Amino acid sequence: MQEVLDLLQSSSYTVVFTGAGMSTESGLPDFRTKDRGLWEKFNPDELANVHALINNFEEFTNFYQYRLREINKFQPHKGHLILAKWEKVGLINSIITQNVDGFHHDAGNENVMELHGTFRKFYCNQCKREQSREDYLNGKSECSYCDGPVRPGIVLFGEMLPEDVFYKAELETAKAELFIVLGSSLTVSPANMFPMVAKEQGAKLVIVNREPTPMDHYADVIIRNMSIKEFLVEMDKGTE
Ligand SMILES: [Zn+2]
């Protein structure tokens, strides 16, 4: 811990990378985990893709309205709030996330790159104009301008990651002196390349994850025996 604290306090540019583990600590079920309720109602493999958006729009919409309701039941945890505070006081510079729940924004972080898009925004798949999240939640799935299909602002299977966000995340990573991974198994490509890029550019790499990751041999510090929340709370005490 002391080692990470020293790295954090001496780094002039720190980038945090968060994955599913960050969100599950808020209670939010990981939709890829088959043993949770979602799989009884829907099969994400069949619905979370472009094919379903085009050919199975009704079920696609039911699925995403359900997921949005699920996300709305939860909120950022203490760890999210600490990261927001750290951005304000300049301890960290930005967050790259694989999560789509928008909790980093909700917590107050401003410099967030959402690699897989976000549930904070909805838009028309036809005219691309933004649509109301509230309306979507209330069952509206046609565009208010052109009647096209409304969809969440997340990246579906079969779609490219947003190029501008990805590019910005690469630039941030290249600037990092310290790169901290929180709750990602680092197995999803191409997101898993960021820690490697950071390392190649000379950054120190810290990985906080319950399970081993394929990038562990690049890491300067690996923490597995505490939750992300515990880790951030402990670190935060050290910075005060
Ligand atoms: Zn439209």
Q: Is 110 one of the annotated binding-site residues?
A: no
CA of 106 to the centre of ligand 1 (A): 27
Task: Considering the chain, tell me which residue range(s) the CATH 3.40.50.1220 domain(s) occupy.
Answer: 2-28+76-116+160-239
127 is in an annotated binding site: yes
State in Å: Cα 131 to ligand 1 middle: 9
State what percent of residues in the chain have pLDDT above 90.
Answer: 88
Burial letters for 208-237: b for 16+ Cβ neighbours within 10 Å, e otherwise?
A: bbeeebebeebbeebbeeebbbebbeebbe
Kindly report, residue by residue over 65-82, the tens digit of the pLDDT.
999 999 999 999 999 999
Local confidence band at 35 (pLDDT 50, 70, 90 cut-offs): low
Q: What is the mean pLDDT of residues 36-59?
A: 85
Per-residue confidence (pLDDT) for residue 33, from 0 to 100: 63
Residue 104 appears among annotated catalytic residues? no
Whether the CB-CB separation of 208 and 184 falls below 8 Å is answered with: no
Residue among 77, 80, 105, 116 flagged as catalytic: 116
Q: Pick one of 3.40.630.30, 3.30.70.270, 3.40.50.1220, 3.20.110.10 as the CATH number of 2-28+76-116+160-239.
A: 3.40.50.1220
Distance 126 CA to ligand 1 centre (A): 5
Q: Ligand 1 center to residue 142 CA distance, Å?
A: 8
pLDDT at 28: 85
Query: Which residues have CB under 8 Å from 71's CB, separation 6+?
Result: 28, 101, 102, 119
Cβ–Cβ under 8 Å, residues 184 and 20: yes
What is the pTM assigned to this prediction?
0.94
Q: What string of DSSP letters covers 137-186?
A: HTT--B-TTT-PBEEEEEPPBTSPPPHHHHHHHHHHHHH-SEEEEES--S
pLDDT at position 166 over 80: yes
Asked if residue 143 belongs to a known ligand binding site, the reply is yes
